[in-house]
Structure 1
């Protein structure tokens, strides 16, 4: 009886030991809980995306068959084994729950999204990773520049509220912050590409060049990416300016700012060390979430400039019902957004002492 009681007490002791250890290490406990929630969210989002795209009407195999028949590499009178082979290769055989289990096995265990209809039989992940650097280079750098300049401009607009320059900046942002990226891109293209002829209107680099890491090719990439980048940065600055100013103005009436000014601190130090520090934390969170959406690409801007990014690849994949490529882009976007949130949840307590790991 004593041995049986000891065996029953061992699991309870282990559970108690884990709780004690987590109580002594709140950072580790917080990270483990947050990572577990991250995995559940990732699984749930991928599951919803899978069933959503599988319920869309249409047959990608018939689309592939028609494409092969047009290129005279497939005989429409061939046996049904060919169609069965393609269905198995694309993960479309069996019922939808069998397809879901096969999809999870390939994505989670094998890291394989299957072949892509966009460039059959190239794997979907290869098509995506071929376009991803262009989107990250264009939208990633543009988002960072827009956030930095918008944060600084919004802080100055709030700090110097009531002055002509600050009011002009605020009113201009209110008027232009909701202008779509592609509308400004059209204006810039008309002026600088077609009227003045200073910058190219379409493409990612000079078609006469071979992609390589040399100054000439890098200069061509920067030249071709200038117009789409400027259209994204300018509109983004206006949006970040307004949100930062909205956060800055209520902070200016706090007692600790009055105390800092009464101590004789320079206005620049009061702005950067006291006022701005309490304003940029929500902006850091918003910026991290916006970085996750970069993986979707800015579809309209990339279409307008014929830029070979994720957005253009996604539009082509949806048009021909390429589920593997669409799911790959969607999974990458989900992973980016949730990972950005996870990193922010782990970093924010170190940026703001008011945020506690154990709460």
Structure 2
């Protein structure tokens, strides 16, 4: 219980620190967001309208940063993220709720697939050392893991969208697709998600492969494996009961971090493919100096990462009681 309360206290403290940094960092970006909005409308907004916008966004008193901070925390506790400046007058919460399912669906699914695929191949590569296929896996994985997301995405777009038109160039759905969840809708959605998904899986699986391979190599040198073989246990039982569990534990932290960052999406991938997820909107918000949208997405990313790490800590305590016992 003390371990759980301590971890909860750390979670709440880090969430507050993240919210405070989330308030400060966007204000370090050069430029005035209302000025950027006026420039976008090419002088169509009067000075009175600009003053009204500054008042609405809590920027009317630029010198009183403390009052802006108090106003920001109060709105945050009410779940009010304000209105987007780059997509005025759409509320930020509407932009986030519209983009989040696409990011979670694409980045979340591909993160899980790449983790399972890479970890499985890494286990095979380490356990079957000496076999040609197993020995070829590490250099191939290192090469794929070093390939930048955006470069591979551009290559796939050129080959399979621009030259052959097998897949669409951008977006998440065909125009005028009709009702959602129909067979036509699913077909369109999967075609648009195929190239971004392949880009993420191919580049990320290599990293998980190398991580799992190194973990398995470390476990294979432990004395309890020699004892298990001396008892006459089968290779399959040794792998499933001893090797896999102990080699997978160190990967849980990285997997938890990866799941946390799912909320932010893969900014480069979504930007290259013009995929309307949170990463794409975050890039657009930074370019447009859109404080409210930036703050909302930044805070969601930070909260997701912190909560994911908290869940991983709880899983560690369940899977390895030594962690819990050592803290109490």
TM-score range, shorter chain: over 0.9
Unaligned runs of 5+ in 1: 1-27
Match of 1:98 among 67, 70, 86: 67
How many angstroms does 1:176 deviate by? 2.1
Ranges of 4+ aligned residues in structure 1 off by more than 6 Å: none
Deviation at 1:69, TM superposition (A): 5.1
Q: How does 1:56-95 map to 2 (within 5 A)?
A: 56-68=29-41, 72=44, 74=45, 76=46, 80=48, 82-94=49-61, 95=64
Pair 1:69–1:194, CA change in 2 (3 A): closer
CA contact (8 A) 1:177 1:236 kept: yes
Count of equivalent residues: 325
1:133-212 residue pairs with structure 2 within 5 A?
133-210=101-178, 212=180
SS at match of 1:271: helix
Asked if the contact 1:140–1:294 (Cα under 8 Å) also holds between the matched residues in 2, the reply is yes
Q: Which runs of 5+ in 2 are unaligned?
A: none
Task: Quote the offset at 1:163 in angstroms.
Answer: 2.0
SS for the counterpart of 1:113 is coil
2:115 touches 2:205 (CA, 8 Å); kept in 1?
A: yes
Aligned-residue offset at 1:211:
5.2
Residue 48 (1) aligns with residue 21 (2): yes
Q: Which has the larger radius of gyration?
A: 1
Contact 1:89 1:115 in 2 (8 A): no
Segment of structure 1 superposing worse, 319-328 or 250-259: 250-259
Counterpart of 1:24?
none
CA offset digits 1:288-332 (Å, max 9, x no partner): 111111222212211111111111111111111110000111000
Aligned pairs (5 A) from 1:192-341: 192-210=160-178, 212-341=180-309
Cα distance per residue 1:42-97 (max 9 Å; x no partner) = 11122123112113221111222334456x5x3x3x5x4x3332112112133111
Matched position secondary structure for 1:333:
helix
Report the TM-score, using the length of structure 1 for normalisation. 0.86
> d(CA) in 2 for partners of 1:62 and 1:227?
38
The structure 1 residue matched to 2:5, chosen from 23, 32, 38, is 32
What do residues 172-207 of structure 1 show as CA deviations (whole Å, max 9, x unaligned)? 112221111122222222222233332222221111
| CA distance, structure 1, for counterparts of residue 37 and residue 152 of structure 2 | 38
> In 1, Cα distance between the equivalents of 2:134 and 2:304?
36
